Amino acid sequence: MAENINPATIQDQEEVKVTAGRARANIPLADLPDKVHTWPYLVRAEFISGCVLLLVLMVWSITVDAPMEEPANPTKTPNPSKAPWYFLGLQEMLVYFDPWIAGVLLPSLIIVGLMVIPYVDINPKGNGYYTFHERKFAITTFLVGFLVLWVGMITIGVFFRGPGWNLFMPWDYWDPHKVVPLANIDLPYIVGIRSEMGAMLFGAVLVIGWLAGIPGLFWQWKKDSPAMRELGLLRYGIVSNLFMVMAGVVVKMALRLMFNIKYILVIPNILNI
């Protein structure tokens, strides 16, 4: 470019000699100074990625039409009725939890839990670069939450749920009359507790033990370690509770899918977990 311009109008003639063509030359990143000009280095990368994205979007939009079904009919409920795909993880939770837990409490905890991450993760390492070994707990927890609970549940909801919200393989025929035995029973019943009060107590002990007892014991055991001292009781309480809720969701799902367990804690008309 520089050679096309009337040199009389160029502001920095000396600099032209030094820098002309450098952006086009393929200089290895490591040989660049620590601070580089946003133009052209970043703007170029953004421009290319934006062009590629728009190209893919155009081709996709030309070849794949947005879905359009029959006109809305409030008297004709499709089976299954599925929420938009990005909410199918939450709809899947409805299988395992009562609606107010699956539809209100857990989504709120997800949002709040994500927001408190920066305030409870006091590990100063791994700030601004990829690392696993410097923050094993944070990354493992996030990966389980993101890949297993979020992406995994959506995958189940999109591809494996059919009429009656029953499980189907993607290649199975969606039989609306599939008979699934209602074999789910509550955990207290399985272990032989027959009285309502006994079942309530048993369930309450398990749930409170899970959410408060285990974190409390762990705190008693580790509270004098340098990491725990730095974390403090308040942050530890928040982290451990969110963690146990998340782990509890996984445990409850496993109990249901493997042992047909319906509820762990049953307080009729008030709280079922």
Partner 1 sequence: MPETEPSKPSIFDIVTQNYVWRSIFRHGYADTPRNRVLQVSANVWLHLHPSKMRRHGIRYRHTWCAGGLTFLLYLCTVVTGVVLMFYYRPTGEYAYWDVKYLDFDVPFGMIMRNMHRWSAHGMVIFIWLHMFRVFMTGSYKPPREFNWVVGVNLLTLTLLLSFTGYLLPWDQLAIWAVTVGTNMARATPLLGNEGPFGPQLGMTPRYDARALLTAGTVVGSPTLLRFYVLHCIFIPLIASILMILHFWRIRKDGGISGPL
Taking CB under 8 A as the criterion, which residues in 100-119 touch partner 1?
A: 100, 102-105, 111, 114-115, 117-119
Can you tell me which of 89, 109, 137, 139 binds partner 1, judged by CB under 8 A?
Answer: 139
Angstrom CA distances, 19 to 14, 40, 45, 134, 206, stand at 9, 12, 20, 40, 70
Q: Counting contacts by CB under 8 A, is residue 152 touching partner 1? A: no
Q: Which residue number, 36 or 254, has a Cβ lying nearer to partner 1?
A: 36
Q: Counting contacts by CB under 8 A, is residue 224 touching partner 1? A: no
Strand partners, 161: 167
Q: Counting contacts by CB under 8 A, is residue 127 touching partner 1? A: yes
The Cα–Cα gap between 218 and 230 comes to 15
The Cα–Cα gap between 72 and 267 comes to 39
Angle at 239 between CA 237 and CA 240, to 5 degrees: 65
Judged by CB under 8 A, the stretch of 17-25, 178-186, 234-242, 244-252 that binds partner 1 is 17-25
Q: Which residue number, 29 or 191, has a Cβ lying nearer to partner 1?
A: 29
Q: Counting contacts by CB under 8 A, is residue 25 touching partner 1? A: no
Number of residues counted as binding partner 1 (CB under 8 A) = 92
Angstrom CA distances, 7 to 2, 45, 165, 269, stand at 8, 30, 73, 85
Q: Counting contacts by CB under 8 A, is residue 253 touching partner 1? A: no
Q: Counting contacts by CB under 8 A, is residue 39 touching partner 1? A: yes
